[in-house]
A and B are shown apart, each in its own frame.
Chain A
Amino acid sequence: MNILFTLNRYLIVLLLLFGGAFFLMACEEAEEEGTIRIGQITNRTGDTSDVGIPLADGVRDAWRWINDQGGVRDRPIRLIEREAGYNVPRTISYFRELTTDYEVPLIHGFGTPDSEAVMDLAARAEVIYMPTSYDDRFVNPEVAPYFFITNADYSTAARGAVRYVAEQEGRLGLARNPGGFGMAPIAAIKEEALMSGVPIVAEQDLSYTPTSAVQQALSFRNSGATHIWMGNTHTAMSVLARDLRRQESDAVIIGNIYAGDENFIRSAGSDAEGHLSLFGSVAYGDTTAPAMEAIMAANYRNPDTHYIRGWAQALIAAEVIGMAIDEELDITGENLREMFYQLNHFSPGGLIPEVSYSPDSHRPNNNAAIYQVQNGEWVKIWEEE
Chain B
Amino acid sequence: MEPNLTDKDAGTAAARPLLETRLERYGAVGLILALAVGSMLISSYHLSLLTTITIFAFSAMGLNLLSGNAGLISIAHAAFMGLGAFTAAWFAIDLGIPILIAIILAGIVSAGVGLLFGIPSLRLSGLYLILATFAAQIILYWFFEQALWLTKSPDGRFVGIPEVMGFEFGDPWHYYLLVLVFTIAGAVVYLNILRSGLGRSLEVIKERPIVSQMMGVNLQRTKLIAFTIGHFYAGVAGALYGWHLQFVATEAFDLMGSIELLVMIIIGGLGSLAGAVLGATFIVVVPELLDMAGRRLVDDMGLMAPIRMFIYGLLVVIFLIYEPHGLARTWRKLVRYFNKKLFKNKNEH
Contacts and interface: CB of A to CB of B under 8 A. Distances in A.
Interface in B288-304: 289-293, 295-297, 301-302, 304
Contacts of A3: 337
Interface residues of B, number: 45
A179 B246 contact: no
B305 A44 contact: yes
B181 interface: no
B45 A100 contact: yes
Interface string B310-342: 000000001100110000001001100100000
B252 A56 contact: no
A121 interface: yes
Interface string A19-42: 011101101000000000000001
B156 A10 contact: no
Given A24-B296, A88-B247, A83 B301 contact: yes
Given A22-B289, A89-B52, A120-B160, A96 B154 contact: no
A117 interface: yes
A45 B302 contact: no
Contacts of B333: 6-7
A24 B293 contact: yes
Interface string B83-107: 0000000000000000000000000
Nearest to A301: B302
Interface string A40-70: 0010110000000100110010000000000
Given A101-B44, A113-B249, A113-B250, A45 B323 contact: no
A359 interface: no
Specify the main secondary structure of chain A where it touches its partner.
Answer: helix
B145 interface: yes
B155 A112 contact: yes
A245 B153 CA distance: 35
Interface residues of A, number: 47
A121 B301 contact: no
Q: Which of B49, B160, B249 has the most chain A CB within a 10 Å cutoff? A: B249
Nearest to B158: A120
A145 B305 CA distance: 31
Contacts of B292: 21, 24-25
19 contacts: A2-B337, A10-B318, A10-B322, A20-B293, A21-B290, A24-B296, A45-B305, A83-B301, A83-B305, A83-B308, A92-B245, A92-B246, A101-B44, A112-B155, A113-B251, A117-B249, A120-B246, A120-B247, A179-B154
Given A93-B48, A96-B172, 16 more contacts: A6-B337, A8-B322, A20-B293, A24-B293, A25-B292, A45-B306, A56-B302, A83-B301, A87-B252, A88-B252, A89-B252, A92-B246, A96-B44, A97-B43, A100-B43, A180-B155
Interface of A: 2-3, 6-8, 10-11, 18, 20-22, 24-25, 27, 42, 44-45, 53, 56-57, 60, 81-83, 85, 87-89, 92-94, 96-97, 100-101, 112-113, 116-121, 178-180, 183
